[in-house]
Structure 1
Amino acid sequence: MAEAAANHHRSIDPKTGFCPQTRTFHSLRPHVPLPPPSLSLSLPQYALSLLRTSSSSADSDGDTDFIIDATIGHRLSYSQFIAQIRSLAHSVRKNYSLSQNDVAFILSPPSLHVPLLYFALMSLGIVVSPANPLGSESEIAHQVQLSKPVIAFATSKTSSKIPSLKFGTVLLDSSEFLSFLTQSDVDNDVLNRAQVSQHDAAAILYSSGTTGRVKGVILSHLNLIALIAGYYHLRQLYREEEAPHPVPFFTVPLFHVFGFFMLARAFAMGETVVFTKRFEFEGMLRAIEKYKITYMPVSPPLVLAFIKSDLTNKYDLSSLLLLGSGGAPLGKEVAERFKEKFPTVELVQGYGLTETTGGATRVIGPEEAARYGTVGRLSENMEAKIVDPVTGEALPPGQRGELWLRGPIVMKGYVGDEKATAETLDSEGWLKTGDICYFDSEGFVYIVDRLKELIKYKAYQVPPAELEHLLHSHPEIADAAVIPYPDEEAGQIPMAYVVRNPGSSITEAQVMDFIARQVAPYKKIRRVAFINSIPKSPAGKILRRELVNHSVSGGLSKL
């Protein structure tokens, strides 16, 4: 057995990570040790243990700020944050008869209370399920139906969207909730009381999946521990002695996988997180200057805003060392223009899905950052295949196919949707990403296109099927199709092709308004074309590619 393993390792190409026998790519990153999977361990316990052993954050149990709300200037130090997590966990345990693996739905704009809830609830073995506070009532109802929460945490403004639940909805802006954070008789060991298995669900995050309507992605404590372990151990390896204290500014929402894992990662590493209640470009520039921000997770439209805006000249941005771009592909030209304007800021890309805990590949260090267009190398402890979508054959480096991923950060599945889980995760644990990619001769991954039909609006995913379903419900619309339309600022915008009913004179504005009333702002249709019929295959499938080509060429007579 050991001999077979040794032979297998010998046959992995050290440059690409490809093994010709198994047709599998292996990570070229150093192996990262993970806690034994049988050990009871929650994500908050693991993050706390890293915080305490991290030499750079020796003072992080004390007065170092962990999180700052730049909108109102409120902040919590590490010691205050840990004390409030304990107090909140104690209060939830005392006031509600929640059981381990119960789900708590969270619907709140960004605030200091959201991270406290995540850590307190997960340490009790309760599954957190945060959703977009801008979601419409029908979207929230669908999410609640999937995750089946027994309790919700919301604000006075968002609570009306949540249906009635077994233990009700706790208002985060109520005096009752605020009293939960300041209990004095708290057992210091409250965060270790629950025996949480690493295989238990930690969070249900909402994603469009690889097709169709919104899905609830079940991420385990192990998924999140594995992701954070990678960042932590690699930082120890690549660390520079004179590096300043890391101060990230979060432009990504905390309910999104990107914000969710970055928050846990920042805590484990003793960093100081700065966020604002509502993202606004100049407000962000002010925060960079005021708090000496060192790095930021961003989406490609924000990189473009940095390039195009003259406001950047008004502020001292010299503390900024790195932008990590994710959520959608970043064009080579944009990366080059950014580097011209900000030569001292490293711009790196990463790639991940909600289904891979937000991670999968990433760029590390200035040498890799100089390779524009790549999303980096396969993350530590991960394997990949490039599969021909037609033949199902696994392909070697340089060949394009669907990216399949396997490893400890791959989700448990979709909640309440066994069919979708089976379509996305095969019996050997391979996750089919729906993205067309290739590996180059040095193990760098490039994203070419999407098999899936999702529209990437800024860092959000918009499923066309959901919007088509709504359009079909309009009495004056006979048929409709929604496609991605290229947009420099947003990446893509949802565009609708609409077939009017005979006698109807419905306008573009009426179509857009009809959808806008029913969906979150990022899902709005922003362009409409009227057409005689929607092109379809003999089986009735919309020929989206024809519509995409048609929309870009602009000639309405051809269809």
Structure 2
Amino acid sequence: MNLFHISSSLSILNSNTITNRGEYSKKKKKKMTTLRRGTRQMWNLMENGKIIRDSSSRSMSTEPRTTRIQEGKNGEKIFKSPFNNMNYPTMPLHEFVWENTGKWGDKVALKCGVTGRRYTYAGARDASNWVARSLLNMGFKAGDVIALVLPNLPETAIAFLGSVEAGLIVTTVNPHYTVDEIRRQLINSGAKGVITNAEIAPVVLNATRETLPSKSPFIVIDDATLPVPSESIPFKDLIDRGKSLPPVPNHPWNFDDVVVLPYSSGTTGLSKGVMLSHKNLIANIQQVKASTDDNVWKETTETHQEIAPLLLPTFHIYGMNAVMLPNLKLGVQLITLPKFTPQWFIDVFEQNKVTCFFLVPPLLLFLATAPMVAKKHIESIHVMTSGAAPLAGTDVERFYHRFDIDETKLQFIQGYGLTESSPVTFLQTLKSKKYASIGNPICDTEARLIDLSTQEDIVTPGKTGELWVRGDHVMKGYYNNEEATKNTLTPDGWLKTGDIAYFDEELDFYITDRLKELIKVKGFQVPPAELEALLRTHPDIEEAAVIGIPDERSGELPRAFVLLKKDKTLKEKDVQDFVKGKVSEYKELKGGVIFVHTIPKNPSGKILRRVLKEQYAK
């Protein structure tokens, strides 16, 4: 369940090799007596089966806002969110997102960061309604699946919400997919039509041949500079025609109806459709808002509007339901970028006073290292939120140090989640300086930590296990894949994340790696993310990826792929010696070091270790 194809953990972090101010460290020199003492403290503070910690002050307390361990019906140890439970508005997703549009109708909702074309909130709301009318007029029926094969454009949000208003199920497709990959998702999802853009229309059209029903709508957001297939229907025609069509009729619906069908696990196997309902998405948006300070993301007023780049791909759950939809709900101005280029990226910050930024680790490293980035580009930002891929605490400190930033004025939040959980399940608090931590379960979220060997609950600080989560934001299941659903969801609703985690003495959680990516050396588990974070601390190394290669005696050995900084040179032994002594002997790079020109990643920054294994592991 790999969120960035499309469902791995929002954050696979290293915390074993990095120590920050006040941060819990799992270094081997720390004696186990400390952990045993922490365990005694926790159980001594149990009250009717509850372990209580004050999440606001990060000290053991009986204050109302607490993370607790409670005993379940069958004796399981459940980590309870420190935030109060809440009720969710029972309404369709599009109505929820557009609910307050009347308050800020004249403010910009969506602006293209390349061309400058824009829609106000009133204009975007009307356009999405007209799109809904036109889709129904074309023959779509409530419950049909429509595929959106789109980069981030202002019209992407309009197409998405218009499709939802028409009662359709939206399956979002990676626009970087090959013809065969697009075709497979169209077939698997049962899509009855496609919306794409002019740049990739020929590829997408090829994928639809002999795939979609005959005369299925092929809708293209056209660009005056690019030709479009003659079979295509211009997206602007949907908007123009919709103005004169009858209103969207009230159709039967249920809060638990599936509304989106993103695909998951592309990096660990064939992708599966993740069935997410109106309730799942709305619940998660509300859960995140209830689990953060009111000053993190402010609702638009007559005198204030947040401005945020929308660079994270919206075909992916992070860009979709952690950035695009919740920010439209708050009246934020979203500046879309169809892809990352350094100049386009800088132009957005040059031309707009960006106030909040949602990113992945490669973007943070770009900000921290690229010569073209200046302090003026980030001075207006008050909060940055990261997820998706390995991020060590030193990566954040490197960014702060470069620009001499006051941490109270630009605050950093780490999050964790999966496509299967809509996506967010854990968040840091603003006051946290544990940059490598994912924090606590968000509102209405429960968690368990399961020992990999015994399958029993873990209640010992520092001990790793598989993280399980449960809540209203957890998916209904995998589309047409009962076996995969049973392997991932327990009968009582627990989602097995496949991520390895531990918690510290203050009940803050850390993700160390993916269960399926662990390297097994003579039976010992080696998390690749731990070694990758260590390698990134070398002054001459820009990026690194680690995989396990087969070995007759040890089972597997760690092999590193290293991207050096410009004009820097290292030898294999230099890298191996750098790691040696900093980790246990079985974690040393005995599988060798290969210097590369690029580290393969998916669009959201997750290292594609499968690709490395296919290319180099011989």
**TM-score normalised over the length of structure 1:** 0.75
Distance 1:339 1:26, change over 3 A: same
- Is 2:171 the counterpart of 1:171? no
Consecutive unaligned residues of structure 2, counting only runs of 5 or more, are: 1-45, 54-66, 223-231, 520-527, 552-571, 573-584, 596-617
- Is 2:50 the counterpart of 1:12? yes
Distance 1:429 1:209, change over 3 A: farther
> How far did 1:492 drift?
5.5
Return the letter of the residue paired with 1:59.
K
**Conservation of the 8 A alpha-carbon contact between 1:289 and 1:317:** no
**Aligned counterpart for 2:337 among listed residues 268, 276, 284:** 276
> How far did 1:111 drift?
1.6
**Aligned counterpart for 1:256 among listed residues 294, 316, 326:** 316
Distance 1:88 1:168, change over 3 A: closer
Deviates more, 1:342-351 or 1:203-212: 203-212
**Conservation of the 8 A alpha-carbon contact between 1:330 and 1:349:** no
- Is 2:363 the counterpart of 1:329? no
- Is 2:92 the counterpart of 1:42? yes
**Conservation of the 8 A alpha-carbon contact between 1:199 and 1:221:** yes
Residue aligned with 1:171, SS: strand
Distance 1:14 1:222, change over 3 A: same
**Aligned counterpart for 2:494 among listed residues 430, 437, 451:** 430
Which residue of the partner structure matches residue 238 of structure 2? 180
- Superposition pairs of residues 431-470 of structure 1, within 5 angstroms: 431-453=495-517
- Superposition pairs of residues 476-491 of structure 1, within 5 angstroms: 486=532, 488=536
Alpha-carbon separation, structure 2, partners of 1:495 and 1:394: 29
Alpha-carbon separation, structure 1, partners of 2:482 and 2:82: 33
Return the letter of the residue paired with 1:353.
L
The superposition leaves residues 433-462 of structure 1 with CA deviations (integer Å, 9 ceiling, x where unpaired) of: 11111222333211122212399xxxxxxx
> How far did 1:183 drift?
3.7
Alpha-carbon separation, structure 1, partners of 2:464 and 2:434: 19
**What's the Cα RMSD here?**
3.3
Which residue of the partner structure matches residue 463 of structure 1? none
Residue aligned with 1:252, SS: coil
Taking only the aligned residue pairs, the percentage that are identical comes to: 26
For CA contacts below 8 A with separation 6 or more, give which structure has more relative contact order. 2
Return the letter of the residue paired with 2:331.
G
Q: Give the paired residue count.
A: 464
**Conservation of the 8 A alpha-carbon contact between 1:247 and 1:272:** yes
Alpha-carbon separation, structure 1, partners of 2:330 and 2:121: 11
Residue aligned with 2:452, SS: coil
Alpha-carbon separation, structure 2, partners of 1:184 and 1:214: 35
Alpha-carbon separation, structure 1, partners of 2:273 and 2:293: 34
Alpha-carbon separation, structure 2, partners of 1:189 and 1:11: 55
Alpha-carbon separation, structure 2, partners of 1:209 and 1:282: 30
Return the letter of the residue paired with 2:126.
A
Alpha-carbon separation, structure 2, partners of 1:146 and 1:175: 24
**Conservation of the 8 A alpha-carbon contact between 2:382 and 2:411:** yes
**Conservation of the 8 A alpha-carbon contact between 2:111 and 2:118:** yes
Alpha-carbon separation, structure 1, partners of 2:410 and 2:87: 31
Distance 1:161 1:20, change over 3 A: same
Greater helix share, structure number:
1
Residue aligned with 2:307, SS: coil
**Aligned counterpart for 1:551 among listed residues 584, 591, 599:** 591
The superposition leaves residues 219-238 of structure 1 with CA deviations (integer Å, 9 ceiling, x where unpaired) of: 11111010111234456855
- Is 2:273 the counterpart of 1:222? no
Distance 1:333 1:154, change over 3 A: same
**Conservation of the 8 A alpha-carbon contact between 2:415 and 2:438:** yes
**Conservation of the 8 A alpha-carbon contact between 1:293 and 1:320:** yes
Which residue of the partner structure matches residue 119 of structure 1? 161
**Aligned counterpart for 2:192 among listed residues 150, 167, 176:** 150
The superposition leaves residues 512-558 of structure 1 with CA deviations (integer Å, 9 ceiling, x where unpaired) of: xxxxxxxxxxxxxxxxx9xxxxxxxxxxxxxxx99995435679xxx
Which residue of the partner structure matches residue 101 of structure 1? 143
Alpha-carbon separation, structure 2, partners of 1:421 and 1:18: 27
- Is 2:117 the counterpart of 1:59? no
Distance 1:271 1:59, change over 3 A: same
